[in-house]
Amino acid sequence: MSDHHSASPSGSGSDPHSGSSSGGDPARRSAHYSDKELQEEVSALETKSATAARLFDIRRLIGGLFVVYGVIVTIAGITASDADIDRAEGLNINLWTGLSMLALGLFFLVWLKLRPIAPPLLPPDATDAVQERQQGD
């Protein structure tokens, strides 16, 4: 159970991505389990990964869904009968929930408009800022 390869990982402070260019196809798997080989394999896969370039922006989807839900529920609130309102402790809960969902949906769409995802080669995570400020509240 000790057939690990004792290759010296790191230490040299070399760029982990440089390993991907040397020798064969590093994305091919081997039965290794040394730290260095794992780093090389994952780094090689990272350079080929398509997620950053091709995955759509979730903000568009949250924004779209919440705008649709917001409109539907707000309409249900505007047309609410007295019985509905009595049921909800005298509060027009559909109206308030609908408007809040609409506002959240619009927030995401505006955020997307103001801070679109940068081209994949230059990944500044400026978009994190707004959300984190919101999360941190």
Restricting to residues 68-127, name those near other proteins by CB under 8 A: 68-69, 72-73, 76-77, 80, 84-85, 87-91, 93-94, 96-98, 100-101, 104, 123-127
94, amino acid identity: N
The reply to whether 21 sits near other proteins by the rule CB under 8 A is: no
At its nearest, how many Å lie between other proteins and the CB of residue 32?
A: 9
Query: Residue 45, Cβ neighbours under 10 Å: how many?
Result: 12
- Please report, for residues 20, 22, 25, the alpha-carbon distance to residue 48 in angstroms, rounded to integers and kept in the order given: 11, 15, 12
CB of 20 to other proteins, least distance (A): 12
- Does residue 36 contact residue 14 with C-beta atoms inside 8 Å? no
- What part of residues 60-79 is at the interface with other proteins (CB under 8 A)? 61-62, 65-66, 68-69, 72-73, 76-77
- Whose CA is closest to 36, among 60, 54, 61, 18? 18
Q: State phi, psi for 115 to the nearest 5 degrees.
A: -130, 75
- Least distance to other proteins from the beta carbon of 22, Å? 14
Interface with other proteins (CB under 8 A), residue from 24, 25, 82, 119: 25
User: Min. distance of Cβ 44 from other proteins in angstroms?
Assistant: 9
